[in-house]
Chains A and B, each alone.
Chain A
Amino acid sequence: MEQYSVRFLPDNLTVQVPAETSILSAAGKAGIVIKSGCGGKGSCGACQVVLMSGEVKVEGTGKLSHEQIEAGVHLACKTKVMGDLSVEVPPESRLQEHQVLTGSIKGLLSEKEVNLLQKYGLKPLARKIQFSLAEPTLTENTADWAKLYLELKKHLGEGKIDVPLSVVRDLPEVLRAGKWQVTVTVADLPERSEVIKVEPGQSTTPAYGLAIDIGTTTVVVYLVNLESGEIIDKQGTYNKQARYGDDVISRIVFSVDAPGNLEEIQGAVVNTVNELVDSICRKHKVQREDIAGAVAAGNTTMTQLFLGVSPKYVRLEPYIPTFSYVPPVTAGELGLHMNPRGPVIMFPSVASYVGGDIVSGVLVTDMANADELVLFIDIGTNGEIVLGNRDWLVSCACSAGPCFEGGGITFGMRAMPGAIERVDIDPHTYDVELKVVGGRKPVGICGSGLVDCLAKLREAGIIDRAGNFQKDIESHRIRQTEEDKEFVLAWAHQAEGEKDIVISENDVKNLIRAKGAIYAGIRSLLRMVSLEVEMIDKIVIAGGFGNYLNVPDAVQIGLLPDLPSERYEFIGNSSVKGAHLALLSRQARVEAVELGKKMTYLELSVGNDFMDEFVSALFLPHTDLSLFPSVDS
């Protein structure tokens, strides 16, 4: 097939692609990540590019206006390369780099730091052992590996020790170069040890490990010193898979859509991790070779995609994942930027929609050893909920939709600089006071801001309990547009952009559905075990969103159960914290596998309970007001 060159501006990057490749894919090849919320269906209109020159085939223009089309604006996903092109990618079409929340930001309750190792003790996934061997002679003529093996036995005790051929190949020269002083990196795997690396002499650098959280939206990596347990650095960024769609379903659809797509989407997430690793390694002058192991946690789909296993059946009824537990794989097989022989351990999943990230979170909460009843909620695109104590654990997943991450909301955005995170509305004047991430001019509103906003709109009487805008309020902030009613949060001149930032009645209804889904999930789990809300002793909230969450407001709108705030606890990104723990402790690794098996999964789509609960939760705070005694009527 004919190859054409596509030049992207202002980057001035040129790639060669076959005819009929979409501009979106070409951009991907050039390493330019264009927003594509709908996954290339031409419906979201996010992937606008300007065609400067060249021949294309237009297969759709979506929501583009006449003026835009005349100005040369094209949808990158629906425009195919038919000749050499020059294309400008405007900044608003690019997935911006941003600092994903990796530290703790003070919420109403600050994130709880848990001393993870207190209970488990340090037994890292890999470590370096140094010793000297006797130099061979004509009479002491044991083979190199046999000699090393005997010495390793002394350090590692009973148990099998494996060595890959590539290490054996290095062995003779390494031993001699170090004058029989040697540093051996050994991985601690289930029921065996494996030699990862041999170095001459006494290595002064420790073994490092990676703790990875593969989120649908964001990926976070910790580089950890496996000798001390200390975190060298944390970094996070958007999951590059975002260009194939915002949610797991559109990613699954893409991955099975055409041959080669699975490899492409796997490559995207591996690249995301690799870029973070490279960036940390550069900053701290760490050699890739010294990263001897990794533990990763993600939802079931993310886990399968990371390993290049097709998630096709995760999406199809009866929703069967390919595996829940998978034995360690090597970094080389995945193409991770670390020692290719180093093991990569994936957290086990419970079911198609309760994944390793949740098992990891449960490990961190230690609820599997608790006497009291603990409710763990991870609020992301899916709300995953686990309830239980030392005797039992039940879990479920409810699709809350992407609202709390800013999706499906007129001015919704992720929690990044420019996002409104706190809203106050004066109930008399309807004046608005905003707090914006990074103290900048507002660009949009993120999940925590939306929770606040909903609570404050209700408090001010601008919406009723059903989420309807009230017509009898006189304020220039409340307006009727052609298709909707809206409330102005920030006027254009106060904002970063040319438009007023508003929240519409439709946004409000979306939020009510999202919060209703989470609360209905909680109630369904409780119902399954015949317990009442008041019986929950502790509620642990996780997720990037959780760091900002205002608990009283979340209760006010009926997102979270009406329980005293001292029962609430924030643990932030529990997925990466669990991965960190498992990296450092053998016992934690063993427990994680057990946890995966121990959790009972409740499929909410079976039976009517969830639907019933959901519909009654579509009210502020709830149709059954007795569930929210502290909320003023």
Chain B
Amino acid sequence: MAVTLVKERWQSRVGEVILGATPEQGGTRSHTITVGGDGTLPFLHFEGTVANRPVVALEVNDVEPDWSPRLKEYYADVINNPAAWAKKCVDEYGADLIYLKLVGANPEGANRTPAECAQTVKDVLAAVSVPLIVVGCEEAEKDNEVMAAVAEAAAGENLLIGLAEQENYKSITAAAMVHKHSVIARSPLDINICKQLNILINEMGLPLNKIIIDPMIGGLGFGLEYAYSIMERARLGSLVNDKMLAMPMVCTPGYEANRAKEANAGIEDFPAWGDLHDRGTMWEALTATSLIQTGASILLMRNPEAVKLVKQNIEELMVSNA
């Protein structure tokens, strides 16, 4: 007897967000990228529309990062040149977008000025033609200045800028509104705060299709399943027409997976764990592929080999199973 697949009828869908702007749209990108738009749970082609494939952004820092040597190896020749680094990510490693972190702005670190940061963004924009995601140094006061300068310098480029958080969302939202960018709204693994933040940002006048949710995650073995269920709730919310949860999601597997001991400890310390190179790659790849299963639209990654695996997985998942 044939098995009939049970199909859910959803009332609504995830909102679509367009990243980047072509010259006709007031920017300089060769193309735009659209994320979100799904009308079902991830990859259930037989049930509803799977509108846009998840995309991968590779991370670029404006100063040399304190990453493990294993990761830095991929970028050894470009690690002190964000523009070249970005170009390598796109040309060699197939990044759909560039995720530029202005770590150098940190007052405790290089303490770069907002103008210097803005210049870095311009350099990266000039070096690659893909859309850009730009975040600050996670020092609220400084980021407010830096991101305002970045937003202005890249006016019209429709960057995805961050981070707006419940305690600090106004200035970045205002900058995005004035200079026509989109915003990452980050909440600490909490569906309520996630939604509240979207309301707060939206009430300032930024349209819902200019907001991307960063729900925050844990890496594989470090709370990934908790993040998974939060994201699932958000996705279910958007499918039942909760407009304030219906934004695409961006996740940070590159950062989270590489924090794990399992992604850094050598085989000499843990012989049973096997070779670090493959283990580290798999740790990031598995974190990332789990996240797309629960609705992540943008993956912020670090390891080019993991990216290759993830892109292959996305390719397979995008084949219709209807």
Binding site for B on A (CB under 8 A): 464-466, 468, 470-472, 615-616, 618-619, 623-625, 633
Contacts and interface: CB of A to CB of B under 8 A. Distances in A.
A625 B196 CA distance: 10
B166 A466 contact: yes
Contacts of A625: 199, 244
Contacts of A619: 192, 196, 199
A465 B196 contact: yes
Contacts of B152: none
B190 interface: yes
A470 B169 CA distance: 11
Given A466-B166, A468-B167, A623-B199, A616 B244 contact: no
Contacts of A618: 192
Contacts of B167: 468
B203 interface: yes
Contacts of A464: 200
A465 B170 contact: no
Contact of B170 (A472, A615, A616): A472
Interface string B157-174: 000000000110010000
Contacts of A623: 192, 195-196, 199
A633 B192 contact: no
A269 to B, nearest CB: 41
A465 B192 contact: no
Given A465-B196, A465-B203, A616-B192, 6 more contacts: A464-B200, A465-B199, A466-B200, A615-B190, A618-B192, A624-B195
Q: Is the interface of A mostly helix, strand, loop or mixed?
A: loop
A195 B32 CA distance: 93
A436 to B, nearest CB: 33
Interface string B187-220: 0001010011001100100000000000000000
21 contacts: A464-B200, A465-B199, A465-B203, A466-B166, A466-B196, A466-B200, A468-B167, A470-B170, A471-B170, A472-B170, A615-B190, A616-B192, A616-B195, A618-B192, A623-B192, A623-B195, A623-B196, A623-B199, A624-B195, A625-B199, A633-B203
A623 B195 CA distance: 7
Contacts of B192: 615-616, 618-619, 623
Contacts of A471: 170
B283 to A, nearest CB: 31
B40 to A, nearest CB: 23
A528 B199 CA distance: 28
A464 B166 CA distance: 10
Nearest to A613: B192
A35 B196 CA distance: 40
Interface in B32-90: none
B213 to A, nearest CB: 14
A471 B168 CA distance: 10
Contacts of A470: 170
Contacts of A616: 192, 195
A465 B200 contact: yes
A470 B166 CA distance: 12
Nearest to A615: B192
Contacts of A466: 166, 196, 200
Report, nearest first, the 4 A-B pairs whose CB atoms are least far apart. A616-B192, A615-B192, A623-B192, A619-B196
Interface in B228-255: 244
Nearest to A470: B170
Contacts of A615: 190, 192
Nearest to A619: B196
Nearest to A468: B167
Contacts of A472: 170
A208 B4 CA distance: 77
Nearest to A620: B196
A535 B196 CA distance: 26
B165 to A, nearest CB: 11
A624 B240 CA distance: 13
Contacts of B166: 466, 468
A280 to B, nearest CB: 50
A623 B166 CA distance: 13
A207 to B, nearest CB: 57
A507 B203 CA distance: 24
A189 to B, nearest CB: 53
A619 B193 CA distance: 9
A588 to B, nearest CB: 44
Nearest to B197: A466
Contacts of B170: 470-472
Nearest to B194: A623
A302 B177 CA distance: 57
A330 to B, nearest CB: 53
A618 B166 CA distance: 13
